[in-house]
Amino acid sequence: MTDASLLKEGMITNALKGFQSLYNIVPDGILGPITLSKLSIPLVKLRAQLILNLNRWRVINCLDNQRYIQINIPSATLALYDRDSLVMRMKTIVGKPITPTPTLCSEINKITFFPYYEVPKNVAINELLPVQQKEPSFFENNGYQLIDEKGFVRDANSIDWGTVSKDNFPYEVRQVAGCDNSLGLLKFDFDSPYSMYLHDTNRKDLFSKNKRYLSNACIRLEKPYELATMLFQDRNLVEEFVKKRFEPHLSPTSFALENPIKIFITYITADVDDFGSLVIYDDVYNKDNIK
């Protein structure tokens, strides 16, 4: 291969990597099926997508003089802004297409250290119950408690699981506080009709994925302690609770924020990165509806 051919090949590879970055694809310079499908998108459709997302941005443009958090579902990221300045950015894990994270506007008003994980009923009967019936020690080994209709904690080993079914499951399920809790060591509460929140996680490995649409609607944070420190403006308080994480019999402890902070959960599929370059994200929930 001549020097000219090598140069041309390198230029094509670099151009392909740039195109992949535009569409939030791992920039490996290989013309795979995903990259090929994006190359076939007509410009008129891209133009319509940009116009659609400009309108979505107008919802939060009025907050230039405020401190607020934006979580964008398609990019699976969180950004903390103070007026027009970016203070912090981190990865998040958002809802699967079958259990989508809803868009909303609210205020974070409380942070809870060592939260219980109150398992949603559909998750308890569709995901946890089948495992417990196959592995009788599953609930006990993973810190799940069963709360009966009278509010008492039941011993999972005392229950005849052969008589329990999806249609006959008279229990609430919660996971005890601690490092193995699915919510991690803290959660951020805000008012919403969806029983959802931001939280830490015991599965830090999932943040290495490029596509992070993996949760049951709640939002998992890559750097929850850093965010808590920013909101409390008290690093010592956060560090004090993190140090207690290995203590036995942890129980939830909540603090109201003196200054609640606005939170926007948005669905923006066309944005710019920190360097001002356009990025197109997957329309993972099929909300764009661009023909």
Residue 217 Ramachandran class (φ > 0 left, ψ -120 to 50 alpha, else beta): left
Q: Examine the fold and report which residue of 130, 148, 175 is the final residue of a domain before the chain moves on.
A: 175
What integer pLDDT is reported at residue 20 of this predicted model? 79
Pairing of strands 253-266, 67-72: parallel
Report, as an integer, the average pLDDT of 235-244. 82
pTM attached to this predicted model? 0.85
Q: Which residues constitute the domain of residue 165? A: 118-175
Q: Examine the fold and report which residue of 158, 175, 192 is the final residue of a domain before the chain moves on.
A: 175
In a domain, 49, yes or no: no
pLDDT tens for 90-109 read 999 999 999 999 999 999 99
- Are 128 and 163 in a shared domain? yes
What integer pLDDT is reported at residue 4 of this predicted model? 47
Evaluate whether 24 touches 280 at the Cβ level (below 8 Å).
Answer: yes
What integer pLDDT is reported at residue 263 of this predicted model? 94
In order of 41, 55, 213, the CA distances from 289 in angstroms are 14, 14, 19
- Are 73 and 109 in a shared domain? yes
Q: At 235, is the pLDDT very low, low, confident or very high (cuts 50, 70, 90)?
A: confident
- Are 197 and 135 in a shared domain? no
- Are 70 and 168 in a shared domain? no
Q: Which of 40, 22, 19 is nearest to 30 (CA)?
A: 19
What integer pLDDT is reported at residue 7 of this predicted model? 46
Residue 72 has phi, psi (to 5 degrees) of -105, 120
In a domain, 53, yes or no: no
In a domain, 146, yes or no: yes
- Are 133 and 239 in a shared domain? no
What SS3 class is residue 31?
A: coil
Evaluate whether 19 touches 39 at the Cβ level (below 8 Å).
Answer: yes
Residue 291 has pLDDT above 80, yes or no: no
Distance, in Å, from the CA atom of 158 to the CA atom of 135, rounded to the nearest integer, reads 14
- Are 209 and 253 in a shared domain? yes
